[in-house]
Amino acid sequence: MARRTETVTIEGDPKLNRDAGKTFLITEMSAWDATMFGAKALLLLTNSGATVPDSSSGMAGLAVAGLMALEKLSFAQLQPLLVELIGCVQYVHRPGHPPQDARENIEEPGTYMKLFRAAFQLHTGFSVAGSTQTTG
């Protein structure tokens, strides 16, 4: 079975948002990578004092803890997790052409936040209301 994907198109006025109209493809991590990501995040949360499910529950446990739980982490702890999440995202330059590295094509900080939320949702099934505009 193929990995799940989600297409996110950034909405807004191109005069105010340089990423308006850009489309990004988020591809689910492998089961191994998702399990390791979830375990790392849960262990970091546990060590920060957050109440979380058993760290061996991986992404499923992270879904229970929720995206907002990650706010309890220091930047030094959170940054590697965000790098892993954005690694699942590619920029769709033009239909029919190979996707490109998202980080090379994002011009607005808010775009990163939308893509982090969408990647988290794809991997955990946990939705942050109104966090993304998606198509596809």
82-93 burial code (b ≥16 CB/10 A, e <16): bebbbebbbbbe
**What is residue 26's predicted lDDT score, i.e. its pLDDT?**
97
Q: Give pLDDT, residue 95.
A: 78
Task: Say what the pLDDT of residue 122 is.
Answer: 92
- Full domain range(s) for residue 85: 5-135
* Collapsed DSSP state (helix, strand, coil) of residue 94: coil
CA distances from 52 to 13, 38, 124 (A): 40, 11, 15
What is the number of domains present in the chain? 1
**pLDDT computed for residue 23 by the predictor:** 96
pTM, whole model, 2 decimals?
A: 0.80
Q: Which DSSP string corresponds to 14-25?
A: TTT-TTTT-EEE
Q: Quick one: pLDDT at residue 119?
A: 94
pLDDT tens across the length of the chain (136 residues): 789 999 999 999 999 999 999 999 999 999 999 989 988 888 888 888 877 666 555 676 676 666 677 778 889 999 999 999 999 999 998 878 889 999 999 999 999 999 999 998 898 875 544 433 343 3
pLDDT for position 65 = 66
